[in-house]
Amino acid sequence: MSNWLLHHDLRAPAFATPQVELYAEALAMTEWADGKGCPRVVISEHHGSPDGYLPSPFVFAAAVAGRTRQIRIMLSALVLTLRDPLSTAEDVAVLDIISNGRVELTVVPGYVPDEFAMFDIPFEGRGALFEEKLATLVAALSGRPFIHGGREIVVTPSPVQHPRPFLVVGGSAPKRAARLGDAYLPAVPDIQLGDAYVAECRRLGKGDGILLWPDGPMWVFVTDDPDRSWAQLGPHALHEANSYARWAAAAPGSNPWTPVETVDELRSSGLYAVVTPDECVALARQIDPRAALQLKPLVAGLDPDIGWRSLELFVDQVVPTLA
């Protein structure tokens, strides 16, 4: 089974697991999953979040690279608009060398006004700025000379992967993704976005491109007792969902979350799947083949012991059935 992944964002609200323990457990889980054949770990970033959402994905990804041997390391999503594209290219290249060519990127314009204010970058017009920085990043990762700021430069060292690490463009601008990326991940599962991407790829002579699809639940938690697990998970899932919903309010359509009042309301929303192994197998067979089952065993600082049990159950009882 290839379409599953581990996801870490290292949120640690005040009621949850302390961050020192959380980071250590995330690295341990990823090392263990690497040994079990997990294809990919996704590492996300946000900035200035009260719950300590991971702000430095390259540092954490380097630690992951040092603890693993095979798993692909996807930074998703990297808010490129907030970053210098040249230093980002350097970080990507060094991480690709450390991991011996296992780096992948999803880059996005960003949608949280407070983050833009934190870095003194205008929120309005972020799409054009993102596109400019993305074009620079692509050129910088080529390892070849290019013109930037009126002078010729070369970013070194070069990444292990050629012509560069796999680059996914996320968001709601499919034509941009077709021009500058290797694949497109729509912000929401909107057929019109997907069709526009494919049409632009064909116009550019790139065939149908590579369209990824955000289908299925935001994450999957496997358990022998969903009711018990929802009681344990509920406060963490509610914190995560409402945090994303608050961010999305400034940029409608940037993610699928809306505010929820109770755990029961969240449970009925379908955003999360807390399921038995058999239910997880059925879910995996139903979702779009371009999507993946995402496992988030430390969601919003969940007790690592609870997360470990779910992760082990998934690997022991779901993966062999779908292999």
According to the 3-state scheme, what is the secondary structure of the chain? CCCEEEEECCCCCCCCCCHHHHHHHHHHHHHHHHHCCCCEEEECCCCCCCCCCCCCHHHHHHHHHHHCCCCEEEEEEEEHHHCCHHHHHHHHHHHHHHCCCCEEEEEECCCCHHHHHHCCCCCCCHHHHHHHHHHHHHHHCCCCCEEECCEEECCCCCCCCCCCCEEEEEECCHHHHHHHCCEEEECCCCHHHHHHHHHHHHHCCCCCCCECCCCCCCEEEECCCHHHHHHHHHHHHHHHHHHHHHHHCCCCCCCCCCCCCCHHHHHHHCCEEEECHHHHHHHHHHCCCCCCEEECCCHHHCCHHHHHHHHHHHHHHHHHHHC
Using one digit for the tens of pLDDT, what is the confidence trace for 92-111?
A: 999 999 999 999 999 999 99
Give the residue among 103, 104, 123 at the shortest CA–CA distance from 112. 123
User: Residue 2: what pLDDT?
Assistant: 59
Query: Could you say which of 1.10.3720.10, 3.30.70.1140, 3.20.20.30, 1.10.150.120 is the CATH number of the domain covering 4-222+280-322?
Result: 3.20.20.30
Using one digit for the tens of pLDDT, what is the confidence trace for 195-220?
A: 999 999 999 999 999 999 988 899 99
> Alpha-carbon distance 101 to 283, whole Å?
32
Using one digit for the tens of pLDDT, what is the confidence trace for 7-38?
A: 999 999 999 999 999 999 999 999 999 999 99
Judge whether residue 255 has pLDDT over 80: no
User: Residue 1: what pLDDT?
Assistant: 41
Confidence (pTM) = 0.95
User: What average pLDDT does this structure show over 219-225?
Assistant: 97
Count of other CB atoms within 10 angstroms of residue 13: 17
- Work out the percent of the chain whose per-residue pLDDT is above 70: 99
Using one digit for the tens of pLDDT, what is the confidence trace for 264-290?
A: 999 999 999 999 999 999 999 999 888
User: What average pLDDT does this structure show over 143-166?
Assistant: 95
Q: Where are the domains of the chain?
A: 4-222+280-322
Using one digit for the tens of pLDDT, what is the confidence trace for 79-95?
A: 999 999 999 999 999 99
Residue-averaged pLDDT of the chain: 95
Judge whether residue 315 has pLDDT over 80: yes
